[in-house]
């Protein structure tokens, strides 16, 4: 039922002369437009083919979703795929993203949400009634089993039952919710879901992203620097993921992260920003301990014949001088 497209990315020819180009999909297959959903400002991909298309372009992202059949673990996660801001921006510049939240999804969706909440309330009431009944019968059983045949404690029993009825609460957390783990929903008949249909690529680029949220000037220049480094390294064929665990900006892999360990921890900084030598030593030491080279990346300063600005790289290595 699932169609497995084994797509292999093809390098565009004549790359040696030009500044590093972004790797595109081969000309034989039409470039694919992926549907990006937004949760607040986070760009998410939900559809199987979108995740595959994005991986073929050399973008990794991060899976966020829980898997219903294997709950309470973070080892293996499922869809949706969260894109890095740099990944989303790259796709947008290639006209490869479409807004998946368009076209009437708003009204229909809010109606569905309202129905779902009403169902939940009904289920809660039902469960509350059943739970109270359960407790009363348990109380009755406990009280009468020890006083077989005698009529004495019936007054006390009635009092207890009434007290129970008055003070009984059924918290929301105690409600049982049924989840369907059958393969349905997004995977099944996924093409029919109107709100997932994504056809028109977004043509408004850089400013569209800026208009979404207020960004301070400092954050903006740092984000721009990160994007330039991301694009340059991606253009050289590396795969990049975020490097929060190692105190850097990106982890740089020579190929798909499923097959290789990262070679570099990329730290993005502007040419003139000043660091303490101790910070440089600290991150270099960390890199040596995990067998990765720390890469100081600064956009600017390198000019290519085409006029595009390049990125300067400095590798930090173990000196071996003790």
Q: Which residue ranges make up the site for another protein (CB under 8 A)?
A: 75, 254, 263-264, 269-278, 280-281, 284, 287, 291-293, 295-296, 298, 301, 312-321
Write down the least CB distance from residue 248 to another protein, Å: 14
Choose the catalytic residue: 147, 245, 261, 291.
Answer: 261
Angular region, 239: left φ>0, alpha ψ -120 to 50, beta rest: beta
Write down the least CB distance from residue 70 to another protein, Å: 9
3-state secondary structure of 114: helix
Q: Is 4 a known active-site residue?
A: no
Q: Is 227 a known active-site residue?
A: no
- In sequence order, the β-bridge partners of residue 207 are none
Cα atoms found within 13 Å of the Cα of residue 62, Cβ hemisphere only: 14
Cα angle 251-310-211, degrees, rounded to a multiple of 5: 75
Cα atoms found within 13 Å of the Cα of residue 55, Cβ hemisphere only: 15
Residue in the structure block whose two tokens are 């892999």: 253
Write down the least CB distance from residue 294 to another protein, Å: 10
Q: Which is nearer to another protein, 137 or 314 (CB)?
A: 314
Q: Which is nearer to another protein, 144 or 288 (CB)?
A: 288
Q: Is 245 a known active-site residue?
A: no
Write down the least CB distance from residue 301 to another protein, Å: 7
Of 317, 266, 315, the C-alpha closest to 291 is 317
Q: Which is nearer to another protein, 99 or 288 (CB)?
A: 288
Q: Which is nearer to another protein, 165 or 291 (CB)?
A: 291
Q: What residues act catalytically? A: 253, 261, 292
């Amino acid at each position: 039922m699932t169609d497995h497209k084994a797509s292999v990315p093809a390098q565009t020819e004549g790359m040696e002369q030009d500044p590093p180009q972004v790797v595109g999909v081969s000309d034989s297959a039409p470039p694919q437009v992926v549907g990006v959903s937004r949760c607040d400002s986070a760009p998410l991909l939900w559809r199987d083919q979108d995740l595959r298309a994005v991986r073929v372009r050399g973008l990794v992202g991060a899976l966020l979703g829980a898997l219903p059949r294997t709950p309470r673990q973070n080892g293996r996660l499922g869809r949706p795929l969260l894109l890095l801001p740099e990944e989303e921006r790259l796709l947008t510049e290639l006209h490869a993203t479409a807004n998946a939240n368009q076209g009437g999804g708003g009204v229909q969706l809010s109606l569905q949400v309202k129905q779902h909440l009403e169902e939940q309330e009904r289920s809660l009431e039902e469960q509350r009634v059943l739970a109270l009944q359960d407790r009363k019968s348990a109380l009755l059983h406990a009280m009468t089993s020890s006083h077989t045949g005698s009529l004495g404690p019936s007054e006390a029993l009635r009092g207890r039952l009434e007290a129970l009825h008055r003070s009984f609460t059924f918290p929301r957390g105690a409600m049982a919710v049924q989840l369907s783990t059958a393969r349905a929903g997004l995977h099944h008949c996924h093409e029919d879901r109107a709100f997932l249909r994504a056809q028109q690529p977004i043509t408004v680029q850089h400013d569209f992203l800026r208009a979404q949220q207020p960004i301070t000037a400092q954050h903006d220049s740092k984000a721009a620097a990160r994007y330039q480094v991301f694009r340059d390294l991606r253009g050289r064929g590396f795969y990049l993921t975020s490097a929060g665990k190692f105190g850097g900006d990106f982890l740089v892999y020579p190929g798909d992260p499923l097959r290789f360990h990262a070679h570099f921890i990329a730290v993005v900084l502007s040419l003139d920003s000043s660091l303490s030598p101790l910070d440089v030593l600290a991150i270099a030491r960390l890199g040596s301990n995990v067998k990765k080279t720390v890469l100081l990346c600064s956009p600017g300063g390198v000019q290519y014949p085409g006029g595009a600005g390049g990125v300067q790289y400095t590798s930090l290595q173990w000196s071996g001088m003790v």
